[in-house]
A and B are shown apart, each in its own frame.
Chain A
Amino acid sequence: DAGVIQSPRHEVTEMGQEVTLRCKPISGHNSLFWYRQTMMRGLELLIYFNNNVPIDDSGMPEDRFSAKMPNASFSTLKIQPSEPRDSAVYFCASSSEGAGGYTFGSGTRLTVV
Chain B
Amino acid sequence: AQSVAQPEDQVNVAEGNPLTVKCTYSVSGNPYLFWYVQYPNRGLQFLLKYITGDNLVKGSYGFEAEFNKSQTSFHLKKPSALVSDSALYFCAVRDPPGGYQKVTFGTGTKLQVIP
User: Could you list which residues of chain A lie within 8 angstroms of chain B, going by C-beta atoms?
Assistant: 4, 31, 33, 42-43, 45, 48, 50, 55-56, 91, 93, 95-97, 99-107
Contact = CB atoms under 8 A, between A and B. Distances in A.
A87 to B, nearest CB: 15
B43 A91 contact: yes
Contact of B43 (A48, A55, A97, A107): A107
7 contacts: A42-B107, A43-B90, A48-B102, A95-B101, A99-B94, A101-B103, A102-B46
Given A43-B90, A99-B51, A101-B34, A91 B101 contact: no
A104 to B, nearest CB: 4
Interface residues of B, number: 21
Mostly, the A contact residues are strand
A105 B92 CA distance: 17
A102 B90 CA distance: 13
Contact of B101 (A4, A31, A105, A107): A31
B43 A101 contact: no
Nearest to A31: B101
A99 B102 contact: no
Contacts of B105: 43
Given A42-B107, A43-B90, A97 B44 contact: no
Interface string B27-61: 00000101010000011111001010000000000
Interface in B56-115: 90, 92, 94, 97, 100-103, 105, 107-108
The 10 A-B pairs with the shortest beta carbon distances in the complex, nearest first, are A104-B43, A99-B51, A104-B44, A31-B101, A101-B34, A95-B101, A50-B100, A106-B43, A42-B107, A43-B105
B46 A99 contact: no
